[in-house]
A = this chain, B = another copy of it.
Amino acid sequence: MTKANSGNFFEDFRVGQTIQHATPRTVTAGDVALYNALFGARFAAQSSDSFAYAIGYPSAPVDDLLVFHIVFGKTVPDISLNAVANLGYADCRFLRAIYPGDTLTAVSEVIGLKENSSRKTGVVYVRSSGFKQDGAKVLEYVRWVMVRKRDEAAGAPGDLVPDLPKVVEPKALGEACPMVVTRHYDFALAGSQHRFGDYAAGEKIDHVDGMTVEEAEHQMATRLYQNTARVHFNQFAQSKDRFGRRLIYGGHVISLARALSFNGLANAFHIAAINGGRHVAPLFAGCTVFAWSQVLDKAELPGRTDVGALRLRTVATKDQPCGDFPYKQDAADHPAVILDLDYWVLMPR
């Protein structure tokens, strides 16, 4: 029998099953530099040790999404190597700040299974958690993916659709964020004078700038996360696929949209939670990504006067500037929309 991993198929999963993922990964200043080179993020707390130290971090924390992508990457060989589609995320909470030198590992628990009526595929729900070297949980999220069956005749391994929160409650936000010394938060250095109180629910912000993606860029990003999903790297195989192209990792679009969102949300220095997200359409190299955001809600954090939380919808498009906030069209998704992300950020009050 072969020693190469061909991944799990739908009938290989069981509800309650726990999977320890390979490969432990020490995050370094090198990873941070590559992340900066790929996305051009400009949030001051992640960019500067001095700024971060002044406001209460021991040093610049690693970008939340870089941590997410590394943890996510570890789950791919066990969970989604035979996936047809990544269907959704829920209840993603960032629980600890990560610094260069920390080592990340990941574990997933299967919390739901639902065979599709075709009997060719089924939906696998996992709650994945990232841990650091001292055992502390760093990150937790639920993801569901449509996974192929190896054998259509195989029985369904379970039938349970988990009950998932639509929104992470404000009281669960902020665990990864130290008490911020707002009097030392330099708004000029941060790039904007707009703080929590300046944003209103319903407000829409066009992030103006566009960023074109090259094949080398998304390949380097995804390998950096040790994400092994073949659709991102293997043009030989993809050329026989319906798109004929390598698909760009959905998380690449999330990071591009987050980096673009600096222009209008410069003080949203921390992603505290992701409520949900849809990769509405695939992105291919050569396209230019734009983004806009809407403030869906505002929340105070229990016991904290330093920061408040904005619930944002950030929409990313391809080859379509966002001055008129493209989203829906005739009750369907606007054809240029590629990402619809619902998340909480923290901002100084």
Contact = CB atoms under 8 A, between A and B. Distances in A.
Interface stretch (A156-164, A168-176, A225-233): A225-233
Contacts of A49: 26, 101, 103, 133
Q: How large is the interface on A (under 10, 10 to 19, 20 to 34, 35 or more residues)?
A: 35 or more
30 contacts: A2-B206, A2-B264, A3-B198, A3-B205, A4-B205, A4-B208, A20-B188, A20-B189, A22-B44, A22-B191, A24-B44, A24-B48, A24-B50, A24-B189, A26-B50, A28-B30, A28-B32, A29-B100, A30-B32, A31-B33, A36-B223, A37-B220, A37-B224, A40-B222, A40-B228, A209-B228, A211-B234, A215-B216, A217-B219, A237-B288
A207 B4 contact: yes
A43 interface: yes
Contacts of A265: 3
A48 B236 CA distance: 31
A263 interface: yes
A50 to B, nearest CB: 4
A117 interface: no
Given A31-B36, A34-B37, A211-B234, 18 more contacts: A2-B206, A22-B188, A22-B192, A23-B47, A26-B49, A30-B32, A30-B34, A38-B223, A42-B228, A49-B101, A49-B133, A50-B103, A210-B230, A212-B234, A214-B215, A214-B216, A234-B288, A235-B286
A199 B264 CA distance: 53
A287 B234 CA distance: 9
- How many of these chains are in the complex? 3
Interface in A98-150: 100-101, 103, 105, 133
A228 B208 CA distance: 11
A279 to B, nearest CB: 20
A310 B121 CA distance: 39
Nearest to A292: B4
A254 interface: no
A293 B43 CA distance: 39
A25 interface: yes
Contacts of A263: 4-5, 228
Nearest to A4: B264
Binding site of A, secondary structure by majority: helix, strand, loop or mixed?
A: mixed
B26 A60 contact: yes
A50 B133 CA distance: 7
Contacts of A40: 222-224, 226, 228, 233
A315 interface: no
Contact of A33 (B6, B20, B34, B237): B34
9 shortest A-B CB distances, which residue pairs? Answer: A30-B33, A22-B191, A40-B223, A24-B48, A236-B288, A28-B29, A216-B216, A30-B30, A214-B216
A190 interface: yes
A194 interface: yes
Contacts of A100: 28-29
B217 A220 contact: yes
